[in-house]
Amino acid sequence: MLPLVWKAQQTKKNLLMWLGIFVFIFALYIFFDILANNSIAEMIAAIGLGMFVLHMGINLLLALLTSSMISLTQINLTMNKREPVGSNSIPLFSFLFGLLTFGCTPCVIAFLGAIGIAFTPLVLGPANIIWKIILLLLIVVAYMYILNRIHKTTCKPKSVVQTQS
């Protein structure tokens, strides 16, 4: 099933969908970085150019993987009329790590304090890089899971059934 989904991804309509999602998510990550640091110039001044490039690289990877996951899942849903099993729990984890990565410091401290981790924000590193790396790892695991679930889809997709008739 995965080869059919990859082939469908290459159509103009699906490439435009992927591009739109990618641009939106990448812009959102940059917006959150600017929001947390007041401006790109202040962020570079605070953490250095090398760390800024690392942040933008991680933002790029996050946007690429997330937009691919959304696009491939949407194509699979269109072809089969069902989502990969377990794919609807991934956004909850992404939301929690997004809150920890991009949330305001008082919000993050209150959230972590509520679950018993009161001093974690003291060791997060420059501009919450540790949370971004954890988020990247979570998204990589989710991406691999989604690809695996799409690959193991056993029903005949609508487009294949129509061409055999």
Mean pLDDT, rounded, for 82-90: 58
Spatial contact of 75 and 5, defined as CB atoms under 8 Å apart: yes
pTM over 0.85: no
Q: Considering its fold, how many domains does the chain have in total? A: 1
Query: Smallest Cα–Cα separation from 129: which of 41, 39, 59, 27?
Result: 59
Residue 96 lies in a domain: yes
- Asked if residue 165 has pLDDT above 50, the reply is no
The per-residue pLDDT for 4 is 79
- Asked if residue 151 has pLDDT above 60, the reply is yes
Q: Which domain holds residue 151?
A: 2-156
Residue 54 lies in a domain: yes
Count CB-CB contacts under 10 A for residue 55. 22
Residue 165 lies in a domain: no
Residue 85 lies in a domain: yes
Rounded-to-integer distance, Cα 124 and Cα 142, Å: 23
